[in-house]
Structure 1
Amino acid sequence: MGPQLPPGIRLDHGRSSSTTPNKKGRSLVATRPFPAGSHIATFSSPLLALPDGATMRTTCNYCLRVGASSSSATSSSSQQQQGQQGQQGQQAQQLKACTGCKAVVYCDATCQRAHWRGVHKAECAMFARVRKSVGKDWLPTPVRAVAQVMLRLRAGDKEVREAFESGSGLEGNVEAFRKEEEVWADFELQASAAVVYAGLLQGDEVLAKAREVLCKIQTNAFNRLDEDTGMAGIYLDAGLAMVNHSCVPNAFIGFDKRTAILRAERDIREGEEITISYIDNTLPRSARHEALRLYHFQCDCARCKNDLDCYEVCQESPALSLNSFSLQPNLGKLRNPPIDRSKVSKQQVEAIYKTWQSLPKPEGDDEKDHLKVGRARWELCKPLVEAGMWAVEPLPTTILNVALRWQTSYKMVVYALPLLCFLATECEPFKLVAPFMPWRIKGIMSIVKLLAVTGEFTASGSLATRCTHEGLVGTLALADQVSMCEALLRLAVHHGSTGASEDREVLQQARSMLDDVESLQGREKESTLLRAWAMDPEDPEASAFFEKEVLSPIRKLASLAPEILEAMLGNKSLTKK
């Protein structure tokens, strides 16, 4: 007897997989074909779904909608999170605190009642103990998760008992965790804290059960990362936990509030095992294996077995042709990337990444410190730059970190645009081949927002006073930035509708912005051509317009990124004649 599964998939109890190549293990198998980008299954009744401890005051603790706490007691960490959300946070729905513990917040009475019936009735008193003991209104996420499970076990919750007690329930790897001395010591502390704060008797049997619960959560739960808001947390569904890992997966998971949606990353055949990546599968092999260490298996997928980098995976990807409707429609370039492997070996890449990870991280908002770290990372990545291997980590993350920093800088915001264009055309299509992958859509929307900013500078005549790079100023001055925005929004809507929930915030935002652009007067011809291009990318007149007015300036902006990075991170002048 296994977990209940949605239609379209079944549980296979004796299937070999990339995670368990030499033994029979459980897996999820497709019972019908699924085209790339299609919806496979929805999981909306999780055993655990909770936000990170520090964001309990800015997230509905039942539906996980991001909002704004109505309490003045919002923690400093929550305030920082709200600040990072910018305008979105300012418009967020007010959340109401639980009248009992005043520690958790909800959208409305409906969410509050549902959470009370599900678990909060048992945990409400727990937060009074937390406040009395440590003077806080929140708990570390793993501690709260274990406490919730222990309280529900005590209450006789059938679903929780089946998952955490029965022999056919979730795998825990308890003995393997016990061999990890530092990890096990942390687990003992967290399990003990959960038992104490939950008000349970602290006998050996109870503590042992709490440790086992924590092991099962660590092994089976997902980090419920929201690509749009950056909010994270724990999500555990017994059925979804059966999906195995591969570093070349055929599916991926997206989260929409309290729901997890499993989608096809490429075409999946009937009877084929469904796999996802538990980690960032674009990292070098040793880094991937380290990230998988606490899952206690050795991945033996093709990427690991043959030590394939992202370029090699892209070349063989069945989803490669989908990029004909993207910001990198040159399929020949994706199949034959202009890189020079003689410049850097895979062993060197491993060493670069290991050293990159060991570099100190910037502290706080000190601009000089961020610049110092950025320069150290850039210098370390020089062999990758010389090889033209821009999509190989840690180079893309180095560029992204600089771009994100510049986005929020009054002086540098204009320079962030070429970097984001470069990432969208020269990095992401090789790393994340399918154009509907959430991070690629987010990248497109980031470019749209920066084009809106630079468009205002261009219209007001202040662009040249804010930017000393004449090539960048000239490109933006000649570009039809409104048409560029409209085309990018059409890409975001098309691929967002394929690879995400209809309720996903970035998709709703793209549609709203597209409506605004289409309503502008005097742009009927441009909108008609872009609408025709979106319907048929091979339409001669429409595709020629897209190439000239959208793709050409995007490529030009992207081409400026390497020299801008070298100038800024090489401590040179940004002025370019």
Structure 2
Amino acid sequence: MPPQLPAGVRIHNDPASPKRRSLHATQPFSPGSVIATFTDPLLALPDGATMRTTCNYCLRTSSSLSSMPSPDLKACTACKAAVYCGPACQRAHWKATHRAECKMFARVREQAGKDWLPTPVRAVAQVLLALYGGKGASGEGDVKRAFFGGHGEDDGGLEGNVEGFKKDEEVWKDLELQATAAVVYAGVLQGEEVLVKAREILCKIQTNAFNRLDADTGMTGIFLDVRLAMVNHSCVPNAFIGFDKRTAVLRAERPIKEGEEITISYIDNTLPKAARHEALRLYHFLCDCFRCKDDLDVYEVCQSSPVIPLNSVSLQPDLAKLRDPLVDRSRVSKAEIEAIYKKWQVLAKPDGGDEKDHLKLAQERWKLCQPLVEAKMWAIEPLPTTIQQLATSWQTSYKMVVYALPLLCFLSIECDPYKFVAPFMPWRIKNMVAIVKLLAVTGEFTASGALATRCTHEGLVGTLATADQVSICEALLRLVVHHGSSSASEDWDVLKQAKSMLEDVESLEGREQESNLLRAWAKDPQDPEGAAFFENQVLRPIQTLAGFAVETLEAMLDGKSLVKK
């Protein structure tokens, strides 16, 4: 029998369609609502390099960033490779897969001198061990059905695109090496038949598994659920997936009608058309959604989005601006944008962490993006990524941390709302949390008087000196809490962190009036006093800070020093 589907979705079979199978909604869903939850994946494992800092069963990430297990994670006493957050996870993982793979890591240590495997190799090895690990191996029936179930309408088998992978000689060579390694380390019966199966398994994993990578929370690894793998791609999806440990949550990004096909984006769908199609190359299909057919950019997609009204409670509440963005399309054509993106991609990245090398790359990329700057097309890639990467670099720089703040404010107002129209989308939530963290730093500088000695920008210094930075933090955290529950689960690390920071802010003495106004605004954004306080004490300072971003970037491009000697 195929795996049981959650109540919110059903399988639609159409042998005549290139998609063949798809998931459709069994009821209407509003933006941000949960469509279905998937809690019993066929494969769920951390990346090889992080398997020593991540529970290998529940996938809870350790606070440690080192390659050694954190004190709160205990290693398997036999192989010393897999680590767990507690006995319950260790027992569950032993029953699910580790009983078969535990001995494998002894071979890995002996033959490769490592205590971990590359993620695709370990994933294929787990499947091979379920198939050949002996009579009654855990999950054997599910694995056979998923990977070799044939192509019947209800067999639950995965698509593999093996012939498509073979056409790319370089990719196929890598897949052959990984599949061979999996066979060797798994210690299963070697032979051409097993190698053929291993390559087919790897192709199906590459085609159907989801990447759990989230650099902001330290989450890594892959997640493969046969039912979830049936969700098809669109560059204008109506749904998105969030991961919480061993669970995948499918949520509505836009309103979804009963019977409507549910789609997600397999890639970064904010890229130019050619870059999107290149990113989809290994999925072996050509997207023909309306965004691709009409070559629509992020502004054009945003203009017709049904979720624009949700931004009335956000850092970009100007709905008219979202519907009619102030861009000058005469300045740069879509063909020129494609050319800019290609040139941007090939710029050499620095090998190490030298700050001067990273600054030089940022200057080159900013210069390349000048046609987009002149057209005020701030949300068109690669311009927002250029700004984001520089802001990320400055966030961790002792000298430049102050200047990261206007860049993040600018991204939250001029870029993110057009790229990710729904205000509950994870990237928008995470950028607001990043602003709060920076305000905590600049607040300390302002209180100690150190800001004026660190920053040459008088407008930035003056704005931070007069702004109620604590109220800005509280308002942003209330926005995060308001939208965050529609972004992922209540256990999402970003949301939990925001709630903790909000409790800290609320505990500060002497802020009863400000907090009461912000509580009233959070409860009812139309509350006259609360809305006026948010407009004057939160939104305007953030807009002012964002207004310093471009001149800061221009100064960087011209090589001017932004730090006082």
1:151 corresponds to 2:129? yes
Letter paired with 2:347 = L
- TM-score, structure 1 length as denominator? 0.94
1:115 corresponds to 2:93? yes
Letter paired with 2:81 = A
Letter paired with 1:67 = S
Cα deviation for residue 24 of structure 1 reads 5.4
> What CA distance in whole angstroms lies between the structure 2 residues aligned with 1:23 and 1:510?
43
> What CA distance in whole angstroms lies between the structure 1 residues aligned with 2:427 and 2:405?
17
Q: How many residues align?
A: 554
Cα deviation for residue 513 of structure 1 reads 1.1
> What CA distance in whole angstroms lies between the structure 2 residues aligned with 1:548 and 1:358?
44
1:354-433 alignment to 2 at 5 Å?
354-433=342-421
Q: Which moved more, 1:147-156 or 1:308-317?
A: 147-156
1:270 corresponds to 2:258? yes
> What CA distance in whole angstroms lies between the structure 1 residues aligned with 2:19 and 2:354?
52
> What CA distance in whole angstroms lies between the structure 2 residues aligned with 1:522 and 1:446?
25
Query: Which among 417, 431, 435 is matched to residue 423 of structure 2?
Result: 435
Q: Which residue number in structure 1 is paired with residue 74 of structure 2?
A: 96
> What CA distance in whole angstroms lies between the structure 2 residues aligned with 1:557 and 1:5?
48
Query: Which among 187, 196, 221 is matched to residue 184 of structure 2?
Result: 196
1:43 corresponds to 2:26? no
The 3-state SS of whatever aligns with 2:37 is strand
Residue by residue over 1:129-158, the C-alpha shift from the partner in whole angstroms, topping out at 9 and shown as x without a partner, is 111111111111000000000101124511
Cα deviation for residue 487 of structure 1 reads 0.3
Q: Unaligned regions of 5+ residues in structure 1, if any?
A: 17-21, 70-77, 83-88
Letter paired with 1:6 = P
1:535 corresponds to 2:530? no
> What CA distance in whole angstroms lies between the structure 1 residues aligned with 2:184 and 2:349?
35
1:63 corresponds to 2:68? no
Q: Percent identity?
A: 73
> What CA distance in whole angstroms lies between the structure 2 residues aligned with 1:259 and 1:329?
33
Residue by residue over 1:324-347, the C-alpha shift from the partner in whole angstroms, topping out at 9 and shown as x without a partner, is 000000001111111100111000
1:79 corresponds to 2:66? yes
> What CA distance in whole angstroms lies between the structure 2 residues aligned with 1:233 and 1:152?
20
Q: Do 1:68 and 1:93's aligned partners in 2 also have CA atoms closer than 8 Å?
A: no
Aligned-pair Cα RMSD in Å: 1.6
Q: Which residue number in structure 1 is paired with residue 196 of structure 2?
A: 208
Aligned structure 1 segments of 4 or more residues deviating by more than 6 angstroms: none
Residue by residue over 1:332-390, the C-alpha shift from the partner in whole angstroms, topping out at 9 and shown as x without a partner, is 11111111001110000000000100010122211111011111111100110010001
Q: Which residue number in structure 2 is paired with residue 175 of structure 1?
A: 163
The 3-state SS of whatever aligns with 1:138 is coil
Q: Do 1:314 and 1:433's aligned partners in 2 also have CA atoms closer than 8 Å?
A: yes
Q: Which residue number in structure 2 is paired with residue 224 of structure 1?
A: 212
> What CA distance in whole angstroms lies between the structure 1 residues aligned with 2:317 and 2:78?
56
Q: Which residue number in structure 1 is paired with residue 7 of structure 2?
A: 7
> What CA distance in whole angstroms lies between the structure 2 residues aligned with 1:287 and 1:248?
15
Query: Which among 258, 271, 282 is matched to residue 294 of structure 1?
Result: 282
Q: Do 2:56 and 2:83's aligned partners in 1 also have CA atoms closer than 8 Å?
A: yes
Letter paired with 1:145 = A
The 3-state SS of whatever aligns with 1:28 is strand
Q: Which moved more, 1:126-135 or 1:271-280?
A: 126-135
Q: Unaligned regions of 5+ residues in structure 2, if any?
A: none
The 3-state SS of whatever aligns with 1:493 is helix
The 3-state SS of whatever aligns with 2:240 is strand
Letter paired with 2:410 = F
Residue by residue over 1:418-456, the C-alpha shift from the partner in whole angstroms, topping out at 9 and shown as x without a partner, is 000000010000000000001110000000000011001
Query: Which among 124, 128, 133 is matched to residue 106 of structure 2?
Result: 128
Cα deviation for residue 573 of structure 1 reads 3.9
1:319 corresponds to 2:312? no
- TM-score, structure 2 length as denominator? 0.96
Cα deviation for residue 485 of structure 1 reads 0.3
Q: Do 1:363 and 1:370's aligned partners in 2 also have CA atoms closer than 8 Å?
A: no
1:471-482 alignment to 2 at 5 Å?
471-482=459-470
The 3-state SS of whatever aligns with 1:339 is coil
